[in-house]
Amino acid sequence: SVKQHVVRKFLGLISSHNIPVYLIDPLVLGLVDKDIEQIKSSPGGPSLECKYFCAPRDFTTFALLDKTWKHEVGLFRTAEKMGFQWLKIINKDPRLDGMDDLSGIEIPLHYIFKLASHAIHLVVFYERSGNYLWHGPLRLKQHMDRKFVPFRKLHFGRYPGAYEKPELLLISIDDLKVQIPKNPSSFLEEMSHSRFLECRYREARAFFQLYPDDASLDAVEFRKKAKSLLHLAALTLNNLGVKFWLSSGTCLGWYRQCNVIPHSKDVDLGVFIRDYKADIIPAFQKAGLPLKHKFGKVEDSLELSFQGEDDVKLDIFFFYEEDDHIWNGGTQAKSGKKFKYLFPKFTLCWTEFVELKVHVPCETLQYVEANYGPDWKIPVKTWDWKSSPSNVQYNGVWPIDEWDDVIQIY
Least distance CB 25 / another protein (angstroms): 17
Which is closer to another protein, CB of 221 or CB of 375?
Answer: 221
> Where is 3: in which H helix or E strand?
helix 2-16
Which is closer to another protein, CB of 100 or CB of 321?
Answer: 100
The alpha-carbon radius of gyration of the chain (Å, integer) is: 25
The residue from 114, 223, 256, 294 that contacts another protein (CB under 8 A) is 223
Residues binding another protein: what is the number (CB under 8 A)? 41
Instruction: Return d(Cα 109, Cα 180) in angstroms, integer.
Output: 20
Ranges within 49-78 binding another protein (CB under 8 A): 56, 70, 73-74
User: Which span sits near another protein by CB under 8 A: 13-21, 213-221, 273-281, 373-381?
Assistant: 213-221
Instruction: Return d(Cα 359, Cα 399) in angstroms, integer.
Output: 35
Give residue 221's Cα distance to chain centre: 27
Q: Who contacts 341 (Cβ-Cβ below 8 Å, separation ≥6)?
A: 327, 328, 329, 330, 370, 371, 389, 391, 392, 393
Least distance CB 394 / another protein (angstroms): 38
Ranges within 321-380 binding another protein (CB under 8 A): 355
Interface with another protein, residue 241, by CB under 8 A: no
Burial class (CB in 10 A: 0-12, 13-18, 19+), 164: middle
Residue 167 identity? E
End-to-end Cα spacing for the chain: 69
Interface with another protein, residue 130, by CB under 8 A: yes
Interface with another protein, residue 129, by CB under 8 A: yes
The residue from 19, 85, 87, 127 that contacts another protein (CB under 8 A) is 127
The residue from 101, 145, 323, 324 that contacts another protein (CB under 8 A) is 101
Q: Count of alpha carbons within 13 Å of 381, Cβ hemisphere only?
A: 4
Contact residues toward another protein (CB under 8 A) are 2, 56, 70, 73-74, 91-93, 95-96, 98-105, 116-117, 127-131, 137, 139-142, 146, 158-159, 200, 202, 215, 217, 220, 223-224, 355
